[in-house]
Structures are given as structure tokens and as C-alpha cells.
Amino acid sequence: MIPNKVKVGGIEYEIIQIEKMEEQFNHLGQILYTKGIIKVDKELAPDRKEQVFIHELLHACFYEAGFEEQDEDMVNRLGIVLYHVIKDNHLL
């Protein structure tokens, strides 16, 4: 289950689920750092929605740690592994 809000490095991010996000913007998720918003496509399957949330959460972690330039491939790979660790160990 995805929370409504999450704090990363002392900054609160609101999580918003957007209908038809993939169709309209060709993204499953998006993060707006300066507004403190994480968007996730509302229509995704539950597992995919959680995985996308973890991906965007990693972007927030890197950004709040001072990494404004991020390697999308690295975030994708780490996000998938972290999601599996969380899911397989019932941490989500």
C-alpha cells in the first residue's frame, strides 16, 4: 500500500495518484522536487504501482542527499531490487 505522504531528508512529499498518467504523459510516475510531490499512475496494477512508488522515492532520496543529476538506469535497477527486498520481506 502506498502512503499519502512520506518524509525524505526532512522534506515531506505528498503522494498523488493520477488517472491515465501513462496515457497522457507517457510516464508511470513523476517527482516534482520543488513542490514536494510524487505522482503515480492510479490505474497501475497494485504491484506495479508500489514498484513505481519505490522508484520515485529513490529519486527523492538521491535528490535530498545532494544528487541533483541522477542516472535513470541506476535508479531503475536499484528501485527494482529495493522493491523486491521490501516485498519479499513483508516490509511494505
Mean pLDDT by 10 residues, the chain (92 residues): 94 96 92 97 95 97 96 96 94 76
Whole-prediction pTM: 0.93
Q: Which three cell numbers stand for residue 90?
A: 513483508
Could you tell me the maximum CA-CA distance found in the chain, to the nearest angstrom? 34
State the pLDDT at residue 91: 84
pLDDT at 1: 83
Q: Show Cβ contacts of residue 18 under 8 Å, excluding neighbours closer than 6 positions.
A: 39, 40, 41, 42
